[in-house]
Structure 1
């Protein structure tokens, strides 16, 4: 049989492995068909320290999917922290810090793609290796080479890890933005920057708690780390011809350029294409039709979008069954519950605008929340009694309801479907001091010095001290002792929640729980105080997870742990000041949209994120849960706790009774978490996303898998990158120094870009 025919037969007969119900990721098809000895080609025993049988056993201890994607060999002599590393990492950190921070204020946007950083840094690194002179530079106290040789895979990885750490929006933005946008309290620039460093590095120090439990166990594969590792393998051309690599490069740049130039149409010149409200075309002046069909403030029923920012590469990363669950949650929430509440008035559905995330008084007018607190941030009881309790749309109420269900469901779901794995991991960890992991990757990594614990402790002490100083000097409005409790609870959360993330790639939200705890500890305080507590007790462990994820990538790629850790710090040193500059830039130019005094025609500059954080800060911090739950409208929220426990148990019983029906794929935590999502400003993306997801993650993944492997992540990275660069270009060209409005024409109707002219509310 010819090689070509054999390849075709292999693809045709390829069986895609069953997907783990706990892990919402696409599993890669097996490329390994033979005995474990087939994987030993090119791998030699380490200077006789390992006999062939020991080497075989060390590789066998690595999970099969990891063996398929990760090299089982290492070259410790490869350069890591070089001149090229500092140049390229700084460029990608700065670019990502701008794009990600802008995106945080928008309703929809594509995240700064690490796939893009991986791809472009690889090409630029090779160009620098070919063009820079091999010259040593002596600065007296420091000496380095401009070009130490070929661009190494370890330089490549460290550039990406630095960008991952620094080229993202950070935790302190929540506090800084809410204070400025809604209370006109602008923090001193240095205080704001140190606040962002302190909160983000508190998350780094939290990572020390979980790394021994979560990083070294070979069975904790960290699926997202495997995805990036797979792309490194693709870029290096392992297992494919040079012609295929060249074709991939052409496809990447064609998609990037296409999406870049196309984005100028829906985002600026031709916004009609961003929300195709089909039903409105047949009845453009009907109020009910607008409410049902509009994707900008309406239900978005049968509404399509041609704007990639409303779709993003999530459709090319999340497995098909996960996307189905998320879409079903959207249908239930927006296409079923919203019209029921809106048209029948159930649960005060007619009392307040249902597609709004603002806070209201009982008469439906906007709540004057600024008047609730005095200059010290304490609740004015007489003002609260004057205006009454705070109310929100029914849509937001069931978001809180399902938020309560999500947290408990995550623990019950993992216990029922993954308790055997949890128990085996605990048993192994109990023997950790006597028996270190003997798998091939840990054996290779034992050649490198580990990050000393005192590095993490020193970092934590600096952050802890900085935060206490800021609490006493910068009007952060929370009692210092609640900050201490928040730090303790945040640290305790790292291992159990990190375990869920390590085996499932799913990050459970804990924001509602943290707000609830703070509300009972310090009711009647300024909402900013509640947000500071939320950042420390909740958001910091998210950062710990992302840091551990990047460290797992370094583990897979055999990069020195110390080089990985220092690259992460370098990313934040560069990225945080840029984040702050962008925050000031956005608030100064988009404040009327962000604070709600004006409405963005496209619904993008809605300030949805800071508004949502403010709402919860007012409800739980200023008003407090005791006052809040005295109102009967909030009473049903408590049933969310019971639902979170009962739903996964019910699904588990169905799965045991009907194992072939695959009830285990109906992951209650993903469903509840998706029900939390707020689509009140833009609901035009889910229908287009599920169609795109079907094509990418069902049809191509199952029936054209070789094509999927070559191009899926590549195209997703290119599309997200083109979108991000286009949004940045539009912001700089048309909205920075001088705001340039697009002239009104048929495709840019100032009254309604969707051609829906009725009033939705």
Structure 2
């Protein structure tokens, strides 16, 4: 991280994509400072006027916590194209700082985690802009425009879906299209971490949850120790942190997306990258961005035209690929 910071300050980063971007005017630092000030005071106003029960000092601490974690998350994502979820750390700190205040816990974790999530997403797309040679200032303006447009569009779509699918979203089970499980889990976690001493303490029923962080930390250390004892293990490119992090994803919801992701990943990163590196280097990132944008557009259209986001659903015919029960063919 220190080396990357020095290379950025001195403009000595050897990456050819970075060097090619030096022809464009860089975004002045004061643009980011002004944007930060506007967002900080806007968030402060929302926090106070919204009666979140989160004190101003708690709001500031949540932003500082997110700012501390964000660089490490960006480094992980830059190195491996993936990261380790840190939203539970925000909730743990919130429970320790604001005990018995579930609403304050919810907003503390939201402010803190959004700093991390948005930092990774914005850095990711800045990197895509670098690969596609979009000027720095154009990317800056585009990201602000996209963020504001997305906020308004997401709020409008959310309001329509919540009003039209209210009963299903309130059902803990949901169905194979609509589910409020993620929002319900955020609410449940805010309540439980506000009662952290009773729920997750030594005498609590769920002590294993905070111990999970200790276990997750110990596994990479154990792997590192094995490499010291058996140096040949270093030849195996295994990242135990990512393995442990992703091992807990498959316990809820649909899982069919995992197999399609694995198929696309193997084709892109294993076959195409090795067999046709010229085509991979020229088109892979462009195709990836196109697939992301296309998927979101198709989901938006299907949600309203087929899945009943506006009230009336027009379901697809039932067949092997679209069973009447669980779409993953799980019993």
TM-score, reference length from structure 1: 0.38
1:551 to 95, 113, 126: 126
CA offset digits 1:15-45 (Å, max 9, x no partner): xxxxxxxxxxxxxxxxxxxxxxxxxxxxxxx
Task: Give the deviation of 1:475 after TM superposition.
Answer: 2.7
In the other structure, the counterpart of 2:186 is 613
2:52 to 455, 476, 479: 476
2:223 to 640, 651, 655: 651
Residue 655 of structure 1 contacts residue 663 of structure 1 at CA under 8 Å; is this kept in 2?
A: no
Task: Give the deviation of 1:455 after TM superposition.
Answer: 1.9
TM-score, reference length from structure 2: 0.80
Distance 1:607 1:458, change over 3 A: same
SS in 1 for 2:247: helix
2:97 to 513, 521, 526: 521
In the other structure, the counterpart of 1:572 is 147
For these two proteins, the number of residue pairs brought into alignment is: 326
CA offset digits 1:642-672 (Å, max 9, x no partner): 3233211221233344444456522111112
Distance 1:533 1:738, change over 3 A: closer
Please give the alpha-carbon distance, in whole angstroms, between the structure 1 residues aligned to 2:141 and 2:274.
43
Distance 1:671 1:754, change over 3 A: closer
In the other structure, the counterpart of 1:459 is 35
Task: Give the deviation of 1:449 after TM superposition.
Answer: 3.5
In the other structure, the counterpart of 2:26 is 450
Q: Which residues in structure 2 correspond to 1:530-549 (within 5 Å)?
A: 530-549=105-124
Please give the alpha-carbon distance, in whole angstroms, between the structure 1 residues aligned to 2:191 and 2:251.
21
2:312 to 720, 739, 748: 739
Residue 477 of structure 1 contacts residue 525 of structure 1 at CA under 8 Å; is this kept in 2?
A: yes
SS in 1 for 2:207: helix
Distance 1:496 1:640, change over 3 A: same
2:213 to 638, 641, 650: 641
Larger Rg: 1
2:271 to 694, 697, 700: 700
Task: Give the deviation of 1:458 after TM superposition.
Answer: 1.8
In the other structure, the counterpart of 1:402 is none
In the other structure, the counterpart of 2:65 is 489
Please give the alpha-carbon distance, in whole angstroms, between the structure 2 residues aligned to 1:679 and 1:503.
27
Segments of 5+ residues of structure 2 without an aligned counterpart are none
In the other structure, the counterpart of 1:351 is none
SS in 1 for 2:206: helix
2:162 to 584, 587, 599: 587
Please give the alpha-carbon distance, in whole angstroms, between the structure 2 residues aligned to 1:732 and 1:547.
28
Residue 487 of structure 1 contacts residue 537 of structure 1 at CA under 8 Å; is this kept in 2?
A: yes
In the other structure, the counterpart of 1:167 is none
RMSD: 3.8
SS in 2 for 1:492: helix
